[in-house]
Amino acid sequence: MSTTVRGPAIEVAGLRKSYRSKSGTQLVLDGVDLVVPAGTITALLGPNGSGKTTTVGVLSTLLAADAGTIRVAGHDIAREPDAVRASIGVTGQITAVDELLTGTENLRLMADLNHLGKSAGRRRATALLEQFGLAEAAGKPVATYSGGMKRKLDLAMTLVGTPSVVFLDEPTTGLDPRSRRTLWDEVRALVEGGTTILLTTQYLEEADRLADSVAVLHGGRIVAEGTPAELKSVHDAGSLDEVFLALTEPPTEEEAGTDAAAATGPTQDKENVR
Amino acid sequence: MTAIATTAPTTTARPRPVADVLTMLRRSLLRAVRYPGLTVFIVGGPMVMLLLFVYVFGGAFGAGVAPGITPGADGRAAYLDYITPTLLVITVVGGATSVAVSAAMDAASGIMSRFKTMAISPGSILSGHVLGFAVQAMIAVVLVLGAAIAMGYRPEADALDWLALLGLFVLLGICLNWLCVAMGLGARSVETASNTPMLLLLLPFLGSGFVPVETMPTAVRWFAEHQPFTPIIDTVRGLLAGGAGLEGSTAVQAVAWSVVIGVAGYVWARALFRRERRV
């Protein structure tokens, strides 16, 4: 990775995003600032509906920011979205695999879309199938895979293009402990290889074990940032659970009146992405 | 160190739209092979209608489309002549209905979001479905025509007519597919994705598809004469009959309607594709 420019892989300043619908405008991100150094894992924590997925959506070019400057892998997201897309890999909350195709076909599809060339694409697909323990099921349609296998294939598909920045939006939700650990190992291996990872998760243990740095999103802003150890010592807490609960208390009614994002935030579950 | 760590980045931001469209077309065709349900529907629907309309209704209906014909076997032959072109057009419409389902499946499964975050030509994502189902529709048209011929249908088209037919079917297929991709993206769920396109299947009935428009009451007849499927079916019918009774203006209307449907569908599909979905 000698070509990697050292410095932050993700730089976000003043990111604002609201959704407009018939029922009005809902502010979700109200000035998010975030820096993720290259080659590190940052975990984004926050209550349901706090805007974690929206943040990943904006950083992965799926959603347009209303305001703010964002650089991913050294490219301005508004001016060079395609350069950003060529540098990133995204594993979203909903498993994004083609259920009708086999594991091999899914990976080759990604190789073709990454313009790897036929033989290089085949090698990459085979290597990833081995690496994720999917070699045996490689020729079977993905519809027959278990949830854990689909999630592994999903991540493998994200990695086909060797992205330098990887977004993982709740990658281990719904996985059994063994599958979760396998994914953690893969994530660690990625970072050892120089990849930068922004991870959202509901499992604070996951953040504690994996992340170099944790950012807590609440009320549309980052309310705390630091290493897991720093956050625990600042809040005099034994676990990230306690830190999380201290930082993300639902707003009182008085505050709710003035804080548009929080008013509809913590109690309301986020709608599923279609 | 893993394979990920040692492989140098090989991706570039250089757009390669042709390669991407071909990749997506390959995916669409591979899906058709893996999940033949939609394809069976595209071929099976018109075949059942052909059998039903010829062997059940044809004996009586034939006298209505070819005055002076005796009901029964002669009627059936006359009606087969009349509706084979209609059912070929309906086959193309059925293919378009399946495009809507495929587009809705992509949008629901998250794979469309994955494609959108990749450095690929955005147009390729929908074009793959449009072209893939156009290929399936053409194969289906050949199979339905084969069934009609087996039932006794005898087209009188010459080489030039066949070429014109091929061109019209390809054009109509691609244009209807763009419209139906938009309908699929606009659907609330995969289950309802084919509802709106199904309305298109009604149009041949409200036109010159199954009975001559002259036999309809004034209001229905006015609609029949001014809707796209009447000139399209009349053109197909004329070309299959070797150009007999086909007016140039009818053929121009058929092409013009197809283009209007295609452009409107493309613009609509592009707007829906670019629309931000709440995450």
The whole-number average pLDDT for the span A115-143 is 95
Residue B61: pLDDT band by 50, 70, 90 thresholds? very high
Say which DSSP state B279 is in. -
CB A43 within 8 A of CB A206: yes
Which one has a higher pLDDT value, B277 or B254?
A: B254
Is it the case that residue A269 has pLDDT exceeding 50?
Answer: no
**Alpha-carbon gap, residue A179 to A19, rounded angstroms:** 35
pLDDT for res A233:
84
d(CA B90, CA B44): 11
| Residues B53, B56, B62, B64, CA torsion sign | negative
Averaged pLDDT, A214-236:
90
Residue A113 is encoded by which pair of tokens? 């879309």
Question: What Cα–Cα distance (Å) separates residue B82 from each residue in B28, B99, B215?
Answer: 34, 28, 15
B31-59 pLDDT per residue, tens: 999 988 888 889 999 999 999 999 999 99
Closest residue by Cα to residue A211 from A226, A232, A195, A194: A226
Q: Do B30 and A86 touch (CB under 8 A)?
A: no
Name the E strands within B111-260.
none
Q: Which residues of B touch A157 (CB under 8 A)?
A: 114
Q: Which pLDDT value is given to residue A196? A: 97
With CA atoms as reference, report the closest residue to A165 among A60, A27, A271, A264.
A60
pLDDT number for residue A56: 96
Query: Is the confidence at residue B88, as pLDDT, over 90?
Result: yes
For residue A221, give Cα distances in angstroms to A27, A78, A169: 11, 21, 18
Q: Which residues of B touch A56 (CB under 8 A)?
A: 279
Nearest CA in chain A to B34: A100
d(CA B230, CA B254): 8
Helix axes B122-150, B17-34, angle to 10 degrees: 50
Q: Does B23 touch chain A (CB under 8 A)?
A: yes
**DSSP H/E element including A21:** strand A8-21
**pLDDT over 90 (residue B11):** no
pLDDT in tens, B151-190: 999 999 999 999 999 999 999 999 999 999 999 999 989 9
Strands (E), A131-200: 165-169, 196-200
pLDDT higher at B266 or B275? B266
Q: Which pLDDT does position A6 carry in this prediction?
A: 60
Which ipTM score applies to this complex? 0.87
For residues B16 and B124, give the distance between their C-alpha atoms in angstroms, rounded to a whole number: 10
* pLDDT score of B14 more than 90: no
- pLDDT of A253 reads 52
Indicate yes or no: CB of B1 within 8 angstroms of CB of A114. Answer: no
Query: Pairing relation of β-strands A165-169 and A88-91?
Result: parallel
Half-sphere exposure of B61 (CA within 13 A, CB side): 19
Q: What is the model's pLDDT at position A64?
A: 94
